[in-house]
Amino acid sequence: MVSEVMLQQTPVARVEPVWFEWMSRWPSPSDLAQASKAEVVTAWGRLGYPRRALRLHGAAVQIVADHEGKVPQDLDDLLSLPGIGDYTARAIRTFAFGIPEPVVDTNVRRVVARAHKGNGEAGPPRVRSDREELWGILSAEDADTQVQGAKAIMELGATICTARTPRCEECPLAPACAWRAAGYPEYVGAKAPTQARFEGSDRQVRGIILRELRHSDTPVPEDFLASLWPDRQQFQRALDSLVSDGLAIRQSEGITLPR
C-alpha cells in the first residue's frame, strides 16, 4: 500500500530509498498512525505531491480505527481509505493479497495496445474500457495465473515493451504481437495528456517552501519564505495552497508544518 501510493507519478528510483526508510520507521499502520503529521511530511522528503503523505497517515489512522490495524482486503473498504483510488485499491488486492483484479497502469496499457491491438501507443486512458480489455485477456485463466499475469504484463511494459526503445528481440510476446506483425506502424490516434513541466511551476515553489519548513524546528517567517522565490504572487498562491491542503499552518510567529 505504501509503495503504491509513493509510486503515484513518481519514478521507482526516487521512491525506493524513501520507501525503505519509511517502512523501517513505521512498519505497520498502527506505527504510522501514532506519528505526527510533521514527522510524516518530513519523512516524505522530496517525493513530490506531499498530500499523499498526509493521506497515507489518514489511511493508517482509519485502518487502526476500523480494521484492527490491518490493511483491509475488501475493495470497498480499501476505496474508503484516504488517498486510495480504484487503481491503487485493485493493485493492493492483487499484489498484496493475491486476489485477481484488472490492474491497469501506463505500462499495461502500452503492452495491450501493441500486442493485442497493433497500436504503437495506448492513447488517452479510458478507465473502464482499459480494465475490461485486460480482464478479457486474463479472465480465462485460474486465479493464480491471473495474478501472475497481471504482474508479468506490468513488468514487461516497464522493462521490455518500453515507450521509446522497446526491446522486441527479448519480448516473449513478439511472435504474437500485432504491432510487430504489422511492421510497427506509426501511431496516429489521440495522444495521452503530458504532465506539466516542473521548473517554474507552483509545484516547484511548494517544494521550496516545504523544504525550508522540514528543516526548521520553529515557525519560519513568511517574509523569509517569500524571499526564496522571485514572483511574490506565485509564492503567495503556492503557500496558500499548502495551507489549504493541510501541509502548512500559519501561526503568529510564521509558517510551520502541521503537528
Cell of 165: 526503445
Distance CA 1, CA 53 (A): 12
- At 46 the pLDDT is 86
Read off the pLDDT of residues 33-70 as tens digits, 9 standing for 90 and up: 999 999 999 999 989 889 999 999 999 999 999 999 99
Cell of 170: 527479448
Catalytic residue among 4, 101, 121, 133: 4
Residue 160 has pLDDT above 90, yes or no: yes
Read off the pLDDT of residues 175-193 as tens digits, 9 standing for 90 and up: 999 999 999 999 988 877 7
Active-site residue, 4 included = yes
Q: Indicate the range of 94-98, 204-208, 216-220, 252-256 predicted with least confidence.
A: 216-220
Cell of 103: 490492474
State the residue for C-alpha cell 497481471.
150
Contact 20, 104 (CB under 8 A): no
Distance CA 134, CA 176 (A): 16
Read off the pLDDT of residues 116-150 as tens digits, 9 standing for 90 and up: 999 999 988 888 899 999 999 998 889 999 999 99
Kindly report the pTM of this predicted structure.
0.78
What domains, with CATH codes, occur in the chain?
A: 2-97 (1.10.340.30), 106-181 (1.10.1670.10), 202-256 (1.10.10)
State the residue for C-alpha cell 493475491.
98
The mean pLDDT value of the chain amounts to 93
